[in-house]
Structures are given as structure tokens and as C-alpha cells.
Structure 1
Amino acid sequence: MTTLIIGANGQIGQILIKQLCERGERPRAMVRAPAPHLAELGAEVVIADLEQDFGEALNGCDKVVFSAGSGASTGADKTILVDMWGAMRAVDYAQRHRVTQFVMISSRGAEDPDNGPAAIKHYSVCKKLADDHLRHSGLPYTILRPGRLTNEPATGLFSTTMPSDKDAQVITREDVASAAAYCLTKPATIGNIYPLVNGSNPLDTALGH
């Protein structure tokens, strides 16, 4: 099985690659420039640009994880091009290659951008449109909607109930990567959308599989 990680040089992407390599897999890391640090982990590195034609990056891939993001320091234009358009094109390429699972790392607020923070509404709208495109694509999908990301050490404990207190809507990047890695091995997670924060349950309990 070959899993393509789109956004492999991002923080979650790098952690996910390390986790997959540690369990004996050789994921394919899609990056815009050479990444010897990912090859050293054991990944197959492929050079491709999310804003260009990157369809060939999916050749021979069985699964795809989309963990790319424009980043908080960029403008709304990059959010549209990467978080929405890039994700939607990844779904289209995945359809053509008939992948068996597409794991989308989305965001809290994507379910209802009108009721989310006004400052990032454009981001939430982009995430929702990308998620909806995946849901309606016919692809086997799993969507993770994590809360605010932190760089704290992994807790290994999760909840799929988003707290009403926005300050409690947090999860470590390492835990998000672990959830994505878990979903790749659990067919029962296909067809599900999971809000995701740190909580009190291990993954198999939190995700119900």
C-alpha cells in the first residue's frame, strides 16, 4: 500500500510520515522542493506543486492524506488556492486514480462557517467547500476536523465532541497525525466526519472503531 501525503513538509505531515515509516510503511511525500529529511525517515519523496499540475504524484497510490495548508501568515488568496482549490483538485486527481481512501485534515468551523470566528470565516468557507467536494465525489473518505492546533507533546487522548468553550477546542499536531494514521488502517472510519480535540479516550474509543 502506498499513501501519498500532500503537505508532507508541514508540521502534521512530517509527524505523520515519521509515524507511518515507524510502522513499516513507505509513504510518498509530496513537496515543492527536495526534502532529504523526509527521505531519511524512509519516505519516497516526489516533487510537485499544489498550485500546478500534480496529478502524476498520485501514480500508484492507494490512499491520500491531504494535510496541506496555506498558513496563518498568508493572505486570503493563498487560502483559496491551497486550502480550497488545491484540496478540490487533489480530490479530482484521486478520483482518476481510484484511490481507496482519502483522508482530509480539515478544521473546526468547516461545518458552519457562519457561526465561526469572523476573522477566519474565509478559511472556514474554503475548508467547507473542499470537504463538500470530497463528500460528493464518490471517493471513500474520512474527514478530520481538529480544533486549534498546538505543538504540545501528544496526549494520546481524544474526543469527537467539540466543547462549547472555544478555549478548550484544542488538540496537539502529533495527536492529529496519529488520528490520520489510525484512520488509514480502519475501513470503518470511511464515510465519517470527526470533530477532533484532546479529550479522555484513546482513538479506538473516541472514533468508535
Structure 2
Amino acid sequence: MEKILIVGATGSTGKRIIEILNNSQSFEPVAMIRKEEQKSIFEDMEVQWVHGDLEQDDLDPVMKGIDKVIFAAGSGGDTGPEKTTEVDEEGAIKIIDAAKNGKVKKFIMLSSMGADEPSKHPKLEHYLNAKATADKHLRDSGLNYTILRPGALTDDLGTGKVELAQKLDGQGEIPRDDVAFLLIMSLADPLVKNMTFEAIEGKEPIKSAMIELSQGN
């Protein structure tokens, strides 16, 4: 069973990922927590946790025994530039470097649609610039990777159906539930390997959409 480090485990999307992986026969989630009081959340779920702070710590120790990483942390588009830089750019780069040092098998990054063209989104430009810098660092790291750039995240129930492409026309929304499933599906080694792709709610089941995207159809 592969151990999967979830960075951003206490966030809305991170918690969904943990819940799904906790019922998996193939993957064992390991929650990265920043505060001591957060450990009870995961102890109650019988989920392993490890302490790590994207803004402060040397993160090499958190990679001990880890096979793959899902980065689902984020300051959010409403956060000021300083905090965004600390978490979404510098923090992400720090954990990518730690993953490389730890020789993890795959790193899956939750990014954002628009990160390829930050200047087209003035209100979110600082956030998207940070995401773009982190994405590039991951692509250049030599790690096997997947970068998922979803549209606007909603708390609606997941539909299990999506529209995926390396570049989608326009904007759209997608439930966090479906984003969590896309990130987890990306753990499978043949799927979306060394790919960056965008995702919004659509009409095609997640599994077949990811297979088609991986095959370049």
C-alpha cells in the first residue's frame, strides 16, 4: 500500500481527499498538519499525520516513508500577496524540493485555471502568478508530476462528470468532490503522467475522461 502525503489536509478539498483515501485498498493517506491541535481531527479518523509548516519548516523529514504527494494547500484568491507568496509559491517550492530529496514517485499539484495567463485576471493576478511559479518549479524538478488546474471550486455535491483538456476554452466551475477524485485518480502511474490539464464540470465520467486525456484523444 502506497503512502500518500496530503499537503493542505485540513482544507476543504484536502479533507475530501483524506476521506476517500481512507477507504482505499491501494493508498494510505498521511495528513500534513501545521498545528498540534489539528492532530485530533485525523486521530479520530485513524489517519496517520505528520507535522510540517510550509511557511517555516525544513520539510525533508515529512517525506520519510512517503511514496507520493498531493499538494492541495492554498491561501485562496482573496488572500493578500504576502501570504499567497509564502504558501502558494515559496511553500509549494519547498515541499517540491523535499519530495525530490525524498525520491517520491509522483507529485500531484492542485493549481488553478488561469495560471498560464495571470495577467488576464487582474483581481487574481498575484495568486495566479504564485501558482504559475510553483507549477513551473514542479515541471522543472525532474519528478513525475501531474498539475491539475480546475475552474472555480464549489461546495456542490460532486457529479462524477467532468470536461478535461490541456487547455479549455473559457471558464467554468467544478465541485470540490470531483476535484478530489481527479487528484486521487492522478495517483495511478500511467494516468496524466507529466501532464498539466484543466478541469470543469462536464458530461463525461471522470475515469474515462482521464484515460482519454492521457492517451491524447
TM-score of Structure 1 vs Structure 2, range by shorter chain: over 0.9
1:5 aligns with 6
Residues 174-189 of structure 1 aligned to structure 2 (within 5 Å): 174-189=177-192
* Structure 1 unaligned spans of 5+: none
Residues 186 and 42 of structure 1: CA distance in aligned 2, closer, same or farther (over 3 Å) = farther
User: Contact (CA 8 Å) 1:26, 1:42: kept in 2 or not?
Assistant: no
1:113 paired with 2:118, answer yes
Partner AA of 1:124 in structure 2: L
2:155 aligns with 151
Distance 2:116 2:160 in 1: 25
Choose which of 58, 63, 67 in structure 2 pairs with 1:58: 63
1:203 paired with 2:206, answer yes
2:99 aligns with 94
1:81 aligns with 86
TM-score (norm 2): 0.90
Matched residue SS, 1:51 = coil
Distance 2:77 2:137 in 1: 23
Residues 2 and 67 of structure 1: CA distance in aligned 2, closer, same or farther (over 3 Å) = same
1:48 aligns with 52
Matched residue SS, 2:204 = coil
Matched residue SS, 1:71 = coil
Distance 2:56 2:190 in 1: 31
Cα shift readout 1:140-183 (whole Å, capped 9, x = no counterpart): 0000000000000001001114342x3xx100111100101111
Partner AA of 2:149 in structure 1: R
Matched residue SS, 1:79 = helix
Q: How many residues are paired up?
A: 205
2:15 aligns with 14
User: Contact (CA 8 Å) 1:14, 1:38: kept in 2 or not?
Assistant: no
Matched residue SS, 1:195 = strand
User: Contact (CA 8 Å) 1:3, 1:64: kept in 2 or not?
Assistant: yes
TM-score (norm 1): 0.93
* Structure 2 unaligned spans of 5+: none
Distance 1:41 1:18 in 2: 8
Partner AA of 2:33 in structure 1: V
Distance 1:200 1:41 in 2: 33
Query: How far does residue 42 in structure 1 lie from its aligned partner after superposition?
Result: 3.2
Aligned-pair identity in percent equals: 38
Partner AA of 1:157 in structure 2: K
For the aligned residue pairs, the C-alpha RMSD in angstroms reads 1.4
Distance 1:102 1:64 in 2: 5
1:133 paired with 2:133, answer no
